[in-house]
Structure 1
Amino acid sequence: MKKLVALLLSFVLLLSLAACTGNVFGKNGGENSDGLQADEELSDVTVPAPFFDGMTEDKIEKKVKENGYSGYVMHEDGSVTYTMTKTKQDEMLKKIKKRMNDTIKNVLQGQDAVDSFVSIDYTDDYSEINIHVNADKYTKWDDLYAFTFYMTGAYYQSFMGIESGKIDTVVRFIDSDTKEVLHTDSYKDYVNDPGSSEDPDHLNESSDIEKDTTTPLAIQEHVVVSDIYEAFVDYAQITSDVVPPVPGSWYSHYQAENGKAYIDVCVGYKNLSTRNQRADEIIDATLLYGGKYQYTGFSIVEERNRSDFTYSNITDISPLSMEYLHYLFEVPASVQTSNGSLVVLMNIGRNQYRVVVREGEDGEVDSPNGNAVAKTSGEVKTDEIVAVMNDCEFYVDYANITNDVKPPQPGEWYSHYEADAGKVYVDFCIAYKNWKTESIGAEDICSATLTYAGKYKYSGFSMVEKESRGDFTYSNITSIAPLTTGYLHYLFEVPEEVATSNGSVTITFTISNNTYSYTVR
């Protein structure tokens, strides 16, 4: 894990490469610190939005000055176009390429070398990066290295002048002996899916399972696929706290957040093949509630004679061994008492099964808040519930002006956002209930602009509460499941005078393509 942290830090350093150069143009068309003429031919370089997540315009402008660029333009989609000399563009490309080469050297040689990595090859534009591995040493943890490679490749392509929509770096992990592709990740997958492949809330491939084409599988019914596996569903339950079947004196457990519950499906799995099988690759599943609302989940594995849990992405099942996997779906607590049907559509290997957790009704299993109002624009008051048909309900929970943003009910350990000296945050909190049939990425829910004193405008960034409102997490790796309420915070860093002056503070925000306003002060 230490190696991975070091590699991720190298990516952070990549994004601040030019901060060390300090090249700034002279005021009157003179030379910059590299002796370059100010009237040299200029180029435009557009860097995509993911590289500026959480950055304010002030910080971007500061980077432009430090880097010696001629100017910049911020776009509505979050991307930024830099204007720079051809010489500066070439300089940046060389620096990024050097950083990539250093990263490759570090993971192949020396104290930070990854045990499974054998060699790495790539195209000149980094559109493809192939990591050849020793399959016997390769683990799921190694897949995490893909992030640094595809982000660095995408960053390089942006400085080549490639359009944001056409930028992509595909990273493949390949068995060096058999040439089998063991895993693939890409920049486009990261941009298009807010939940990464390591995140429990991401949309699994199993969401494509058609209910009518799956094979029914009853509790305790065994299925055997010759030379691959034998499997059965041991039990399925609805609970607020998932504990091992035979808890030891010390054990892990999974307690649902307030207002939620877990559907826990336990599968006994025997490996009939001649090689280890990675536990997290054995099952993919989707839960259907009421025949229409889809939930993705994550897997864990029992250990120590069914007395504890461990992570499936670091566990192998050896040949002829029987292990117990649990697939967990976090759902609204109302699922426990409703009459809605619960069906799990499950991929085991290449076979698709249908497991009935509870017989029940299909169709509408929930109803909008009785106090909700249908509104597609206009001003919204605190606690006023707005409903957008078949899409969402939301209300403004609160808005604060503070120098330190903390979760509403801080846990023992929590993240917080402290403003820079001379600045404060305007913290705009929205409660959002998803009425769609599938999860929605939290960062796609809302966009907002703050206006101070009727004319000064500020952009911000979003984050999401977790742990029953006791902590924060990133909105770009979080999804809000169907019929579930999430708390989204939009933060604006503004001058300190905003907190003490009498100037108006208003927020214009867009949800479900409808634009609303909210008066903070």
Structure 2
Amino acid sequence: MRKRWIRSVILSTSLLIAVWGMSACSSGTSSTASADTSALEKKIVELENENKALKAKLEAAEGSNDTNRGNQAVSEEEPVQAVVADKTPTLEANKAVTVDKYAEVTLLGSKFKKKVTPPNPDSFYTYYEVKENENIYLDTVIKVKSLLTIGKSADEFLSVDVLYDGQYEYGTFSTIEDRGGADFTYTNITRIEPLKSGVIHFLAEVPEDISKDDKPVMIKVKIEDQEYTFQVK
């Protein structure tokens, strides 16, 4: 309605200017006619100024409407939902993590070693030594206490992988301490009975340079469906 009213005023003003122009042309050469013409010219200038002002208002009104439509379009867009990544829980050395009705897991340490031996070796014992000089073992030691109601194979409680520099991943194999740490035995033939514990070593054979540079090394421990991490260095 505002636009139509402004346009009507502009048209009416233009028509009035035309009528007054014709009146001025039909006037005589007398002094009265000259005075009237001068008055009409002055009035025409005033009307032209008013016409320009009305056009400016019309353009401003149209620009305001465009801005409002733009703002409305923005407001009608669906809000962008922020995606918050779930933070993977971490393990702390010598601090137990309990998974209800499953196991109590304690990370005892993770060290680079050329040769892995049981903590209390007997006169005869099993050990693991890298065959290639440029490699080394990362030995991750985890104590597992079963909270199950039946025995479970030691190699089925959890899994461990090693991540180097945030992109290179290494698998592990496991062995379990036997006879109070006097020897090692196989995890796949050893059961951890209800409310009893076993100390498992997860060994990853990696390039020795990994143990010496300043790039990060992290282990990933998966217990049932939950993954935990531990920063070695």
Bucket of the pairwise TM-score, normalised by the shorter protein: 0.5 to 0.7
Map residues 501-516 of structure 1 onto 2, 5 A cutoff: none
Alpha-carbon distance between aligned partners in 1 of 2:145 and 2:173, rounded to the nearest angstrom: 20
Q: 1:51-85: per-residue Cα shift (whole Å, max 9, x none)?
A: xxxxxxxxxxxxxxxxxxxxxxxxxxxxxxxxxxx
Query: Is 1:221 matched with 2:95?
Result: yes
Residues 214, 345 of structure 1: 8 Å contact kept: no
Report which of the two has the higher share of strand: 1
SS of residue in 1 equivalent to 2:232: strand
Map residues 310-325 of structure 1 onto 2, 5 A cutoff: 310-325=185-200
* Alignment gaps of 5+ in structure 1: 1-210, 359-521
Query: Is 1:241 matched with 2:111?
Result: no
Larger Rg: 2
Shift of the alpha carbon at 1:339? 1.1
Shift of the alpha carbon at 1:227? 1.8
User: Which gives a bigger RCO, structure 1 or 2 (Cα 8 Å, sep 6+)?
Assistant: 2
Alpha-carbon distance between aligned partners in 2 of 1:293 and 1:353, rounded to the nearest angstrom: 18
Which amino acid in the other structure matches residue 248 of structure 1? D
Shift of the alpha carbon at 1:212? 6.3
Alpha-carbon distance between aligned partners in 2 of 1:225 and 1:334, rounded to the nearest angstrom: 35
The correspondence for 2:148, drawn from 273, 277, 280, is: 273
Residues 218, 356 of structure 1: 8 Å contact kept: no
Alpha-carbon distance between aligned partners in 1 of 2:98 and 2:107, rounded to the nearest angstrom: 13
Q: 1:245-284: per-residue Cα shift (whole Å, max 9, x none)?
A: 1212111111012211000000010001111111111121
Report which of the two has the higher share of helix: 2
Alpha-carbon distance between aligned partners in 2 of 1:287 and 1:212, rounded to the nearest angstrom: 20
Alpha-carbon distance between aligned partners in 2 of 1:214 and 1:286, rounded to the nearest angstrom: 15
TM-score (norm 1): 0.28
Shift of the alpha carbon at 1:302? 0.6
Which amino acid in the other structure matches residue 323 of structure 1? G
Q: 1:196-239: per-residue Cα shift (whole Å, max 9, x none)?
A: xxxxxxxxxxxxxxx96421101111111222111110111101
Shift of the alpha carbon at 1:285? 1.8
SS of residue in 2 equivalent to 1:309: strand
Identical aligned residues as a percent: 32
Alpha-carbon distance between aligned partners in 2 of 1:261 and 1:307, rounded to the nearest angstrom: 23
Query: Is 1:251 matched with 2:125?
Result: yes
Q: 1:300-347: per-residue Cα shift (whole Å, max 9, x none)?
A: 111110111111111111111111011110001111211111100110
Alpha-carbon distance between aligned partners in 2 of 1:340 and 1:268, rounded to the nearest angstrom: 27
Shift of the alpha carbon at 1:353? 0.6
Partner of 2:204: 329
Alpha-carbon distance between aligned partners in 1 of 2:125 and 2:116, rounded to the nearest angstrom: 11
Report the RMSD for the aligned CA atoms in angstroms: 1.5
Partner of 2:60: none
SS of residue in 2 equivalent to 1:319: coil
Partner of 2:138: 263
SS of residue in 1 equivalent to 2:205: strand
Alpha-carbon distance between aligned partners in 2 of 1:269 and 1:316, rounded to the nearest angstrom: 11
Map residues 192-207 of structure 1 onto 2, 5 A cutoff: none
Which amino acid in the other structure matches residue 179 of structure 2? R
